[in-house]
């Protein structure tokens, strides 16, 4: 089985820790006997870049003896349209929801991306969505194969650890409450401004601060998660946020707005809260968690998302398309 995987997101020398969930998925697919050739290109919203990628993909297909094309994100599929090969497309969030502005609205470029992704969906042979909520953003696709497959979790890596030990490793104070912000604070769709407004309200009564994880290697993320008292997610949209699943694997409570599959993941979990997009509501839930002395056991809730199970599901799709 030879698969050409096309993606606009991949680690680079200046950003070596990008998309760890995708690089891990490729590793596991290879371990499962799938020959994966990753073709990475940076579109940068420039049609010329996509035209160049189209030419390179066509050259690869002529020489690579590929059975399937698998595009990660809707826009990544553009260079493979019309190739004649069966195509899987994984939609992961912004490709179907759009691109958020700093004020929380959606940009016109994001709306164009949505149109492109909907067109790609019509041409895909199999669609993978990382959460059920994304289905509403697809066009009507009669008879199209659609699977809901969130990114898997490396449960061997993400495990509960002693908070005091993790804080010592990171040089963090033991007597301060720490809220791990679940995203890159510089990305507009993560809405750090909303998280910051909420935390300022919490600071009126508690000694608390943010723990930020921008550009942190995946191997170090369990230490950061276990050092935190709670994980906070305030994104405008998400597909299936890995930070939430990884936090639960480490038995860390989560406060999040209702995006992606968060409501499904946090349903009936004591100490976790899904809240409206309001600084006050977020602050109230954070305060409840930070004042609690309860110990949590969330790990069993994410065992079905073991990365090996997820990998097997993707291989099943490949096998079904190649017969």
Residue-wise DSSP of 55-107: HHHHHHHHHH--SEEEEESGGGGGGGTTSSS-EEEEE-SHHHH--B-TTSPBP
Give the per-residue pLDDT at 64.
81
Give the per-residue pLDDT at 323.
55
Tokens of residue 154, six digits: 């490396």
Reduced DSSP (H G I as helix, E B as strand, rest coil) percent helix, strand, coil of the chain, to 5: 45, 15, 40
Of 257, 296, 223, 227, the closest CA to residue 133 belongs to: 257
Please give the model's pTM, rounded to 2 decimal places.
Answer: 0.93
Question: Which residue ranges of the chain lie beneath pLDDT 50?
Answer: none
Q: Give me the helix-helix angle, 307-322 and 20-31, nearest 10°.
A: 60
Distance CA 309, CA 153 (A): 10
Q: How far is CA 266 from CA 200, 244, 245, 262, 271, in A?
A: 25, 9, 9, 6, 9
Structural domains in the chain, sorted by start: 2-152+306-322 (3.40.50.2000), 163-304 (3.40.50.2000)
Q: Could you tell me how far CA 103 lies from the centroid of its own chain? A: 22
Please tell me whether residue 278 adopts helix, strand or coil conformation: coil
Of 130, 25, 35, the closest CA to residue 73 belongs to: 130
For 15-43, write each residue's pLDDT tens digit.
999 999 999 999 999 999 999 999 999 99
Tokens of residue 165, six digits: 């030990």
């Amino acid at each position: 089985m030879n698969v050409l995987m096309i993606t606009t997101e991949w680690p680079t020398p200046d950003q070596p820790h990008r998309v760890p969930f995708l690089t891990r998925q490729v590793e596991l697919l290879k371990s499962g006997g799938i020959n994966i050739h990753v073709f990475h290109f940076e579109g940068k919203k420039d049609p010329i870049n996509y035209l160049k990628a189209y030419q390179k993909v066509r050259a690869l297909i002529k020489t690579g003896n590929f059975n399937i094309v698998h595009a990660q994100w809707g826009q990544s599929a553009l260079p493979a349209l019309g190739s004649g090969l069966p195509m899987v497309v994984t939609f992961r969030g912004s490709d179907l929801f759009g691109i958020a502005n700093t004020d929380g609205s959606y940009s016109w470029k994001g709306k164009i991306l949505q149109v492109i992704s909907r067109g790609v969906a019509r041409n895909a042979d199999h669609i993978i969505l990382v959460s059920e909520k994304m289905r509403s953003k697809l066009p009507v696709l009669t008879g199209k194969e659609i699977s809901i497959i969130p990114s898997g979790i490396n449960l061997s890596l993400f495990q509960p650890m002693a908070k005091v030990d993790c804080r010592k490793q990171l040089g963090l104070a033991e007597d301060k409450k720490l809220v791990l912000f679940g995203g890159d604070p510089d990305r507009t769709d993560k809405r750090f401004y909303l998280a910051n407004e909420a935390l300022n309200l919490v600071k009126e009564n508690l000694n608390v601060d943010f723990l930020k994880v921008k550009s942190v290697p995946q191997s170090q993320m369990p230490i950061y998660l276990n050092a935190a008292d709670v994980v906070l997610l305030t994104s405008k949209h998400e597909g299936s946020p890995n930070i939430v699943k990884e936090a639960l694997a480490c038995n860390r409570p989560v406060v999040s707005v209702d995006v992606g599959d968060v409501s499904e993941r946090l349903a009936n979990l004591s100490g976790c809260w899904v809240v409206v997009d309001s600084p006050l509501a977020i602050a109230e839930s954070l305060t409840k968690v930070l004042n609690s002395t309860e110990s949590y056991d969330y790990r069993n809730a994410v065992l079905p998302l073991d990365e090996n199970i997820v990998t097997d599901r993707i291989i099943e799709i490949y096998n079904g398309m190649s017969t």
